[in-house]
Structure 1
Amino acid sequence: MAAAAVVANGSSGDSKAAFAEIYSRLKEEMLEDPAFEFTDESLQWIDRMLDYNVLGGKCNRGISVIDSYKMLKGTDVLSKEETFLACTLGWCIEWLQAYFLVLDDIMDNSQTRRGQPCWFRVPQVGLIAVNDGIILRNHISRILQRHFKGKPYYVDLIDLFNEVEFKTASGQLLDLITTHEGEKDLMKYNLTIHRRIVQYKTAYYSFYLPVACALLLSGENLDNFGDVKNILVEMGTYFQVQDDYLDCYGDPEFIGKIGTDIEDYKCSWLVVQALERADENQKHVLFENYGKSDPECVAKVKDLYKELNLEAVFHEYERESYNKLIADIEAHPNKAVQNVLKSFLHKIYKRQK
């Protein structure tokens, strides 16, 4: 049942099926971990908690490890061992995502996640979810230790996950103190802050981490791929700007959600662009209406975006970013790495096409 949930939400192809197969094994290993004497009640809790939080997403990050590894090796077929290791690292990223989301939902006081109540809002869970987040993070270390400790790149994997977690948590801190701390203040919002939040909160773990895992599996030294890291972080920034744009202008049926960035007072790319271009009267409209759930207030903000022609501003940004990314990718001497990066960029670009 758990594996089927992954298949239903994953991407197409063999990678999806192989990836889904591994989850049950990894979960079983965590439930049988000899480091703790579990009670029946605690085992049931962790079993349910894992299925509720690790499953349910599209698993794009995890599956990207397998697809990237195949491209780096120049093959469509991996050995059983190679497939298992790639899938296991992919699931470690999905575990990391679950850990971030469980705690993020508490900090944001959110109601729903992936079409169901946030874990901390489930009856009898509450703030036990904080400890569940800690358990999820510790599972990653347990999985890596169990399956990679004898590998020459084991320490590099540990360092990679630690570094990415630190960057993401630091980005979350910046987001929280900018958008949630004290009185609402649009004057805190600017392009530099937006870019820094996006890079650290999203780009490293969503874009760089899957490719870095695949590079380590391929026997590469990450120190030799600083340019790849920079391209992927820039790609993650582009992805988030596009996401901010689609939140306002995308078709809810196509993007799968109704945008609420205006109501939620988000430090969105659109609002920081508006602040840069608005005159004093227009800024007054923003200050009076941004962050309010009243449909009339939302409409006034959207009208101002239209007045400032932010759709055209976005399309110009998109054109320049895409062209620069393609140029940087094609300048990389390794064709296999080029293929990996182009695959990521293609998936982002086609989201709105």
Structure 2
Amino acid sequence: MTDRTFKVAVLGASGYTGADFVRLASRHPRLEIAGLGANAKAGQNMSDIWPHFLPLRPLPVLQPAEEIDLEAMDVVVGCLPHGASAEILSRIEGPRIIDLSADFRLRSAETYADWYGGPHPAPALLPDAVYGLSEFARDRLPSARIAACPGCYPTAALLALLPGLMADMIAPRNISIMALSGVTGAGRAAKEANLFAEVAEAVHPYGLGGHRHMPEIEQELSAAARAAVTVSFVPHLIPMNRGELETITVELAPGRSAQELRGAMVDRYEDEPFVHVLPEGTAPATRMVRGSNHAVLNVFADRVPGRAIIVAAIDNLVKGSSGQALQNLNLMLGLPETMGLEQGPLFP
């Protein structure tokens, strides 16, 4: 492990994921935030946009991305929308890249075009990207040039499902994911559907039958199952700022039980610093992880024979986004994986 300090630039720093990455990285003992990109907010300080940054150490003024010397950085963190992210990051030659958009998550440029409405902006870079679900990419991230951070919904779903599929305890069919997410998952851009009066005291589904996280989930589940996996995935927007809860029903492999599936998950995550299987019978809740990089999981027997229910909770902005990005950064740079992420959940 080296003792040097690494220079980091964060592009899209004025959005929710960018700001949360800066919040975490600003207390990281081995990172220097040397550039902050934000076109619409250029010329402003982070504390002008986000008052909670006032007590923190001084940060660079926000600039357009093209005015930041990105080649002088050790790491560039992209917190930009899909398309725009790869278009900018594809011009970088020296720094390591951590991308929070969807641009490098899918291995196939054709699949990307089908789901994101246009050709991939940098298909030549796809082979350089490692899908950065930290707990399952630990061996590949140190040598990776690009870490493609998973979406928040896939993070929870994959943490819940991969151990069972890899141990042949879950059948690779009839997987149904019902997901609930806070409003920050929709980004900070002004949208009528996200106004307080539109989301308060209400829950509604969206992306029915065609949410863009579906091919990402299926890509990783299929690799784990060594067979094509198609999932039913229904996301819902709920009236809270942070948090994500997924209730997943699965068909067990012949002869397997929910108790055995839970045991496999306990074994897989026993030594993980951020992923925890709760005591038997305890249901995960978003209040258990709010503001932290932790994920909580559990398994329950369904009343339908041969089926089980898996429940997962994460903070969509931390473990589902910026916290996992910082975890990946640590792994890429040979730093302790938990560095800058030690804070516990915020409750109430």
- Whether these two folds match at TM > 0.5 is no
| Structure with greater strand percent | 2
Q: TM range, normalised to the smaller chain?
A: under 0.3
More helix by share: 1
The TM-score, its normalising length taken from structure 1, stands at 0.28
